[in-house]
Amino acid sequence: MITLSIIKADTGGFVGHSAVHPDMLAEARREMTRAIEAGLLVDGHVASCGDDISLIMTHTYGPDADLIHSFAWDTFQNTAHVAKDLGLYGAGQDLLSDAFSGNLRGMGPGYAELDFEERPSEPVVCFLADKTGPGAWNLPLYKMFADPFNTAGLVIDQKMHAGFVFEVHDLQAGKRILFDCPAELYEMLMYIGAPSRYVVHRVRSKTLDETAVATSTQRLSLMAGEYVGKDDPVMIVRCQSGLPAVGEVLEPFTLAYGVAGCLRGSHHAPLMPVASGHAHPSRFDGPPRVVALGFQIHDGKLIGPRDLFADPAFDKAREQANEVMDYLRRHGPFEPHRLPLDELEYTTMTLLTERLADRWTPMSTEVATPAGTGGRG
Ligand code: F6R
Ligand code: MG
Ligand code: MG
């Protein structure tokens, strides 16, 4: 068994919330090399998307392992120190707790972890997104594993006919449910079409009895009780041989579909698929970005990455993202660009409600006209 873990955190932005400083990446890479040399990790790769650092690691300790999570925690503490020394913005932002206690759950960093027997050839895609939340993976996962207009294999490959089981989490209630697809597609869509609350966490092939997907499902705002940034999710997708092909896994991103996030985590905006070098959202802290790093895992080694969105075939999606961004920006502070009130993560509305409480009167009562205006007619 090998475990593939992506553990990510925003430990400081350069400049503002747009990117990670090279010194922070260098520090994370030093730690990663040390952990590989010490035998803790089989292999590792440090990547970033926007202001988030992702530690992509293979090891034999399984998901939720104390040793792996504490390594990531210590590494993020170090990158946060580098950020503090350089006076970078939001240094240590996602490190919500002062002390590590065995597991990263509820501590700020996000993670997606998958353990499996390595197949003779094991192609995986690691997706990293910035300026959006974990529900952003719902739409592409539906397309990859349930939509034959996206995934030809659902029709052409016998191994896919039995379908896939989706594990969906209710982030508000802290519950989960399994949907057997395609039989329960319509019921599932009722839930996952509301991605601020319902999030696909895992997908399993019924024929292969293999888990193909793991996503990070943490929501920082639910953990911290007030706005502390977006949760900038990550996702692992295993591909080929009875699972969607790499091309089928990437195809959903040819639509710059709308996600929640962007500036102040408070706007709908299109998700733009980009090469790593362009994963630095500057315009209106957006549009939200996604990168796709492809690896072949061989004897636990991460052969790669290939920067899969560095392909002109995604140019149209990028153009579309820019067009949709222009269109939405013209709405300024109005919905549907701004998120509906119950999804806004800032506490402004609560404070405003308290401050203006006395000024709201029943509509039937006469409202005093401000002095000097004299009323109408
Ligand atoms: C989005 C994000 C940024 C900030 C924005 C304001 O995830 O982190 O859009 O919300 O730049 O940041 P502050 O309030 O720190 O000035
Ligand atoms: Mg940040
Ligand atoms: Mg971020």
Domain contains 177 = yes
Domain contains 373 = no
Give the closest residue to 259 by CA, choosing from 345, 142, 109, 134.
134
Query: What pLDDT sits at residue 368?
Result: 67
Q: Extract the tokens encoding 124.
A: 């995986």
- For residue 65, report the distance from its CA to the centre of ligand 2, in Å: 26
81 and 109 belong to one structural domain: yes
Residue 32 has phi, psi (to 5 degrees) of -65, -45
Domain contains 361 = no
155 and 9 belong to one structural domain: no
Structurally, how many domains does the chain consist of?
2
In the annotation, is 227 catalytic? Answer: yes
Own/partner contacts of 93-96, CB < 8 Å, gap of 24 or more, are 93/9, 93/10, 93/11, 93/12, 93/13, 93/228, 93/229, 94/9, 94/10, 94/11, 94/220, 94/228, 94/229, 95/9, 95/11, 96/220, 96/223, 96/224, 96/228
Which residue type sits at 327?
A: Y
Q: Are 134 and 216 in contact (CB under 8 A)?
A: yes
When pLDDT is averaged across residues 207-211 and rounded to a whole number, the result is 98
**Atom 4, ligand 1: which residue's CA is nearest?**
264
Task: Dihedral sign for Cα 111, 304, 204, 289, please.
Answer: positive
Residue 324 has phi, psi (to 5 degrees) of -65, -35
Of the pLDDT bands very low, low, confident and very high (cuts 50, 70, 90), residue 376 is: very low
User: What distances in angstroms separate CA 153 from CA 58, 242, 272, 371, one per listed residue?
Assistant: 28, 8, 25, 71
**For residue 79, what is the domain's CATH number?**
3.30.70
- The DSSP-derived string for 318-374 is HHHHHHHHHHHHTTTTSTTTBPPGGG--SSHHHHHHHHHGGG---TTSPPPPPTTS-
Ligand nearest to the CA of 262: 1
Give, in degrees to the nearest 5, the angle at Cα 71 between 32 and 119.
Answer: 70
- Helix or strand holding residue 53 (H, E): strand 52-59
177 and 57 belong to one structural domain: no
Single out the residue in 66, 83, 116 at which a domain terminates.
Answer: 116
90 and 167 belong to one structural domain: no
Rounded Cα distance between 111 and 150, Å, is 27
| Tokens 């601020």 belong to residue | 196
Q: What is the per-residue burial (b if ≥16 Cβ within 10 Å, else e) of 315-330?
A: eebbebbeebbeebbe
DSSP, collapsed to helix, strand or coil, labels residue 201 as strand
Is residue 231 annotated as involved in ligand binding?
A: yes
Write down the ipTM of this complex. 0.97
200 and 272 belong to one structural domain: yes
Q: Which pLDDT tens digit goes with each residue over 81-120?
A: 999 999 999 999 999 887 888 889 888 999 999 999 999 9
61 and 125 belong to one structural domain: no
Q: What is the pTM of this model?
A: 0.95
Catalytic residue among 61, 157, 230, 307: 230
Domain contains 135 = yes
Domain contains 224 = yes
Query: What pLDDT sits at residue 370?
Result: 65
Residues with CB under 5 A from ligand 2 (ion): 10, 13, 17, 51, 90
Q: Is 70 exceeded by the pLDDT of residue 143?
A: yes
Q: Is 50 exceeded by the pLDDT of residue 227?
A: yes
Q: Which of 10, 219, 263 to mutate to test the pocket of ligand 1 (most atoms within 8 A of CB)?
A: 263
In the annotation, is 198 catalytic? Answer: no
- For residue 172, report the distance from its CA to the centre of ligand 3, in Å: 22
Single out the residue in 64, 82, 116 at which a domain terminates.
Answer: 116
- For residue 215, report the distance from its CA to the centre of ligand 3, in Å: 16
Q: Which of 259, 285, 338 to mutate to test the pocket of ligand 1 (most atoms within 8 A of CB)?
A: 285
86 and 134 belong to one structural domain: no
Single out the residue in 116, 149, 172 at which a domain terminates.
Answer: 116
DSSP, collapsed to helix, strand or coil, labels residue 6 as strand
Domain contains 256 = yes
229 and 348 belong to one structural domain: yes
Domain contains 368 = no
Is residue 267 annotated as involved in ligand binding?
A: no
Q: Is 80 exceeded by the pLDDT of residue 287?
A: yes
Binding-site residues, ligand 1, Cβ < 6 A: 16-17, 131, 229-230, 263-265, 285
- The DSSP-derived string for 55-77 is EEEEESS-TT-HHHHHHHHHHHH
188 and 335 belong to one structural domain: yes
Q: Extract the tokens encoding 52.
A: 């988030």
Domain contains 376 = no
Of the pLDDT bands very low, low, confident and very high (cuts 50, 70, 90), residue 230 is: low
324 and 346 belong to one structural domain: yes
Give the domain range for residue 334. Answer: 121-355
Q: Is 90 exceeded by the pLDDT of residue 310?
A: yes
Is residue 204 annotated as involved in ligand binding?
A: no
